């Protein structure tokens, strides 16, 4: 998919996010909107996947794991628009009997989701396991994962970081959503983490930096990341993003981490996001 189309897609995905969260007045719009450009590019240009024939095993396909499961709205929008399930199902988000749980779940067999996430810090370990299985199976496809920056405060992440580098898991590309925000405020106020780049380098990873809102850069860095696979080191992309990107009053603040806009605010937000591909 070309950049012009990716831009239109990402705008629609942001509309989906606002509408999903607003419809149930709950959910996590901020981080979701910040990752819309990245996930659009990943799912519509990079991943080698077969949405019409989803299998849990995903053999000979690229795999993606969302570790920061609270940004489920962006994942659900992308999955449905990529063809994993009908876009109408986005209407059921967070409602009783829905496959679209507040945080991603496999309990109701939603195509596109292979493990539950929500309790933070677990997805990198799972991605490593899936990457080892690919190697054991002689499957040369790649495993991708996405993590929040606040999520890096979980100790398990660093267990996984040490393992992946120490054991040369080199079919793995992890991305950090580096928006500097978490529920309680700025990361530097909650728990300063110092230089992420130096930390990951010190752990022995191939570290790339990327602008998560510049499609040229996203495409170039994902290509570069892929070219680094197979060299004995796992790859991490530190992706600079803006929480709430796309709507002026939501952007750059942690206030919209886990809060729905009111009906009035929803109207204003949607007026800033053109309906490019048709609402669900």
Partner 1 sequence: MEELVVMDHKDTRSGFGDGLTELGRTNKDVVALCADLTGSLKMGDFKKENPDRFVQVGIAEANMIGIAAGLTIGGKIPFTGTFANFSTGRVYDQIRQSVAYSKKNVKICASHAGLTLGEDGATHQILEDIGLMKMLPNMTVISPCDYNQTKAATIAIAEHEGPVYLRFGRPKVPNFTPADEKFEIGKAQMIREGKHVTIIATGHLVWKAIEASTVLLEKGINPEIINIHTIKPLDEKAVIESISKTKCVVTAEEHMRHGGLGDSIAQLLAEKLPTPMEMVAVNDTFGESGKPDELMTKYGIDTPDIIAAVERVLQRI
Gap between the Cα atoms of 255 and 185, Å rounded: 8
Contact 91, 77 (CB under 8 A): no
> In the complex, what is the shortest distance from the CB of residue 107 to partner 1, in angstroms, rounded to a whole number?
6
- Is 125 a residue that touches partner 1 (CB under 8 A)? yes
In the complex with partner 1, the residue whose CB is nearer, 45 or 141, is 141
In the complex with partner 1, the residue whose CB is nearer, 6 or 100, is 100
x-or-dash string of contact with partner 1, 167-196, rule CB under 8 A: x-----------------------------
- Is 238 a residue that touches partner 1 (CB under 8 A)? no
Which residue of 62, 139, 149, 151 would you call a contact of partner 1, by CB under 8 A?
139
Number of residues that bind partner 1 (CB under 8 A): 40
> In the complex, what is the shortest distance from the CB of residue 208 to partner 1, in angstroms, rounded to a whole number?
23
In the complex with partner 1, the residue whose CB is nearer, 134 or 254, is 134
Which residue of 21, 39, 126, 238 would you call a contact of partner 1, by CB under 8 A?
126
In the complex with partner 1, the residue whose CB is nearer, 134 or 240, is 134
x-or-dash string of contact with partner 1, 35-74, rule CB under 8 A: ---------------------xxxx---x-x---------
> In the complex, what is the shortest distance from the CB of residue 1 to partner 1, in angstroms, rounded to a whole number?
26
For 182-246, give the DSSP string: ETTEEHHHH-----HHHHHHHTT-EEEEEETT-HHHHHHHHHHHHHHTTSSS-EEEEEE--TTTT
- Is 94 a residue that touches partner 1 (CB under 8 A)? no
Binding site for partner 1 (CB under 8 A): 56-59, 63, 65, 105-107, 114-119, 121-134, 136-137, 139, 155-156, 159-160, 162-163, 166-167
């Amino acid at each position: 998919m070309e950049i012009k189309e990716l831009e239109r897609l990402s705008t629609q995905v942001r509309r989906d996010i606002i509408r999903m969260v607003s419809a149930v007045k709950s959910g996590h719009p901020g981080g979701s909107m910040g990752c819309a450009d990245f996930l659009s590019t990943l799912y519509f240009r990079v991943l080698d996947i077969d949405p019409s024939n989803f299998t849990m095993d995903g053999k000979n396909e690229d795999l993606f794991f969302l570790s920061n499961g609270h940004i489920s709205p962006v994942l659900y929008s992308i999955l449905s628009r990529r063809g994993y399930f009908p876009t109408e199902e986005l209407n059921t988000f967070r409602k009783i009997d829905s496959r679209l749980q507040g945080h991603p779940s496999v309990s109701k067999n939603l195509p596109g989701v292979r493990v539950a996430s929500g309790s933070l810090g677990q997805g990198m370990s799972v991605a490593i396991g899936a990457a080892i299985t690919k190697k054991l199976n002689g499957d040369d496809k790649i495993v991708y994962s996405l993590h929040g920056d606040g999520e890096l405060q979980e100790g398990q992440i660093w267990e996984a970081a040490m393992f992946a580098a120490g054991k040369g898991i080199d079919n793995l590309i992890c991305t950090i959503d580096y928006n500097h925000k978490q529920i309680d405020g700025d990361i530097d106020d909650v728990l300063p983490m110092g230089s992420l780049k130096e930390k990951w380098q010190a752990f022995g990873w191939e570290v790339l930096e990327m602008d998560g809102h510049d499609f040229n850069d996203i495409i170039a860095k994902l290509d570069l990341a892929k070219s680094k696979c197979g060299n004995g080191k796992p790859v991490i992309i530190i992706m600079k993003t803006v929480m709430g990107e796309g709507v002026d009053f939501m952007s750059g603040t942690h206030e919209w981490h886990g809060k729905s806009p009111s009906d009035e605010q929803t109207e204003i937000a949607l007026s800033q996001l053109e309906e490019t591909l048709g609402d669900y």
